[in-house]
Every structure is written in structure tokens, then in C-alpha cells.
Amino acid sequence: MQSCFTNIVWLLYFLCITFSGYLSGKGCTNLVAGFSSFTRQTREIIITDAVRRIRRDGYPVEKHNVQTKDGYILTLHRIPYLHPIQKTVLRRPVVFLLAGIYASSDAWLLNGQENSLPYLLSKSGFDVWLGNNRGNIYCRRNIWYNTTDREFWDFSWHEMSVYDMPATIEYIIKKTGEPKMHFVGISQGGTVFLVLNSMLPQYNAVFKTATLLAPVAYVSNTKGSLAKVFGPILGTRNYISKLLEGVEMVSTNKIVKQFLSMACLENERPSVCVSRLWPAVGYDTEHLNKTLLPDIMANFPVGGSFKQIMHYFQGYVSTKFRQYDYGPEKNWLMYQQLEPPEYCMELVTVPITIYYAENDYIVSVEDIWKLMLRLRSLHAIYKLPWKRWNHFDFICGLGVREFIFDKIVKSLITYEYN
């Protein structure tokens, strides 16, 4: 009974935060307060505080702010490599990590000090930088707009690629003195990397290697129910999609995240709790590390725009990987053509390693192969051996260290020192 009731409350609250652009944050908060007595969670959950989490796990950490050309202030988290005695920062090869849609740098840290990729890289002698995109909980400032302005939320992952990435990369190079770096991205992180190097091909020279975990580019064969249900509506030009272009997708209020983490009750079956992630991860969650569910619920989603997911929906409808479709008239003003131009994957020259899975709910095998056939610089391709390995498993799956993270670390060490 309590689990059923919690699911109903969670659904109501999800609708509340989804349309937070139209509803007051106070209304959502009151909903949480009214029902919080029905949930309990004694485990310590760190909610969107990467600095605190990294320090708790025993690693040094720095926080850096970067300003983009269009005025957004981005927060980067760095795990520097320190001299073992003097504790001064040493110059080491740089690795830049970028998480997926509506996620943040915290996503890379959820597996704890023994199994999280940033810590494995740090222990292996790398200078680790964790990126964050505009709109998430760490990047809610703009020098011209407030978060209550529609203009603030009028962005997709295209703007992340051509504004956020250059600003971040140039800052890291200046700060570290290292002219090149390695890149690791998951899901939308892969999208952003591919768009950057196709739109601004000069940045290919900045990357030594790129490792893309379940990169999202082509999505016409996705199994995701969100795309199948909402794609035909939000992936085309109409009144609704135009209205949502300047709207925040999900709330980043910490009370919201606390509620979502408490939704996984101590006496509740993991299968009940994981059902709340089905819209994002799919129904096959056999390999998901369910002990991390409270942390996952507390740190995903953590903010972004409707335009991000609508850009993917456009790809679902058009079957193409291309720039945002504003309709014929505005397309002509933006691109000097009636339809948006496709991203030229042939311009991406960085050596790329791709990890994918047969049962990925978001990125189908067909769409992965469609992408790979256009890339001219594929270094390696790894297909996960399990039939039920899903999209979220690439970061929080059982055995993710052994079958993905350790391979990434070994590959980068081989590149640097052999």
C-alpha cells in the first residue's frame, strides 16, 4: 500500500517539476512537504554536491567557473593529481569527462571511491576534469538572463557543443598548460563531442582520444517510449513545441532531489523503486546496481531545457542527425536553407572508441552502426556481451568497472606511456 501510494505521489510530483516553467517552485515544495511523512530514508545521500562527495571519498577537489561567449557561467570540478609528499598539483595528462542529458558531474561519482571512473583515472596518474552543461544544477547563471526568463532556457545540445565545449576546453588548456586532452562522454556527452568537432573541426586537434559510451546521434530506431509517444508532437513544428522552447524541463530544487531519493524506501523492493526510472532506462534493469538507486534518484535529473529533448525528438521524426529545426522561414534566416543542415561526421578526425549494447533502450544497434559508418576515425568498437545491458548501466551497471572503466583506464595509460 505504501509503495503504491509513493508511486502515485512521485507521478504527481514528476508532472509538477516537469512543468516547473509554468508552476511555482513553492507549489512543488509544498507537495513534498505534505507527503514526506510517508517516506523515510536513513542512508546519507549527497545531493548534487560534487565537492563534498569527492572529499568524502578521499580525493582532492577544485571547483572552477567558466563563462561562455553567450553569457552562461559553467562550473567544472577537477580532481588534480597531487605530489604524494608536498601535496602540490603536478602536471599530468588531462582527461575531460562529460555526462548525459539532465545529468551532472555527480553522475560519474555514484559508484563510490573504488569503482567510479574519475577516481580510477586519478589513481592512475591523470588530471581529471568533470564538465557540466548549461541548465543543470551547477550552471544556472547567465550574465544577461535570469532562470525565470524564457531566453535562458532557449538552448539545446547544439549550443552546448558550440559554446560550452570551446569555453571549457580553452579554460582547461590554459589552467593546466596541457595543449591536448582525452575525452570520455556518455549519452548526450557523446552528442556534444560529435557536434563540436563537426561544427568547429579545429578542435579535433585538441583531443588525443575520445571514448564514447552509448553516444546519441541518430535516434530513428530508438526503443524509448518517450520518443514514440511525444516524438511526433514535440519533434515537429507546432504551437506546443514552440511554446516549450523557452521552458525548463525539470526542477533542480534540492528539496525535489531529497524527495526523489526518499522515494526509494528502505523496506521497499528494488524492483518497485527502479520502476520510477523506466521512462529513462527502459524495462530491463537486470544489471543496474540497485544499491545506488537512492543516489541515482537524488542526482538525476538535475536540470535542463525542453529544447534538449525536443532536438532528439526531431531526429527521431526526420531520421537525421542535424541542427535544430525552426521551421522553413526561420531555417532560411538561420541556415540559408529551408531544412536544417546535417552534422558532417566525416569532419570528426579524433580517434574514437565506442561502447554500445544490444538492449540499449535509448540508442539502438541500428543507429550506432549508422553513426559508425560515417566516422572515419574509429579506433575500436566494444559491444557489451549481456543481452539486457541498458542505457543507465553504462554508468551504474553491475560490473561496469571491470567491463568498461578498467578498459578505458588501460587504454589511456597505453596511449600515454607505451
pLDDT beyond 70 at 260: no
Q: What is the pLDDT of residue 189?
A: 97
Higher pLDDT, 390 or 79: 79
Q: Among the options 158, 182, 311, 391, which is catalytic?
A: 391
Residue 128's nearest CA partner among 178, 165, 163, 162 is 178
As a whole-number percent, the residues of the chain with pLDDT over 90 amount to 62
pLDDT tens readout for residues 271-310: 555 555 555 555 556 677 777 777 777 777 888 999 999 9
Could you confirm whether 287 is annotated as catalytic?
Answer: no
pLDDT beyond 60 at 17: no
pLDDT tens readout for residues 276-287: 555 555 555 667
Q: What is the pLDDT of residue 392?
A: 84
pLDDT beyond 60 at 32: no
As a whole-number percent, the residues of the chain with pLDDT over 70 amount to 79
Could you confirm whether 241 is annotated as catalytic?
Answer: no
pLDDT tens readout for residues 194-252: 999 999 999 999 999 999 999 999 999 998 878 888 889 899 999 988 999 999 986 65
Most confident range (mean pLDDT) of 22-26, 266-270, 309-313 is 309-313
Average pLDDT over residues 112-135: 96
Structurally, the chain folds into a number of domains equal to: 1
Q: What is the pLDDT of residue 40?
A: 39
Q: Among the options 20, 187, 198, 241, which is catalytic?
A: 187
pLDDT beyond 50 at 258: yes
pLDDT band, very low/low/confident/very high, at 269 (cuts 50, 70, 90): low
CATH of the domain at 49: 3.40.50.1820
Q: What is the pLDDT of residue 34?
A: 41
**93 upstream amide cis, omega within 30 of 0:** no
The residue range of the domain holding 392 is 2-417
Q: What is the pLDDT of residue 313?
A: 96
Average pLDDT over residues 82-92: 77
The burial class, CB within 10 Å (0-12 / 13-18 / 19+), for 7 is middle
Q: What average pLDDT does the chain have? A: 84
Q: What is the pLDDT of residue 418?
A: 78
Q: What is the pLDDT of residue 3?
A: 41
Q: For 280, list phi and psi in degrees, rounded to 5.
A: -100, -35
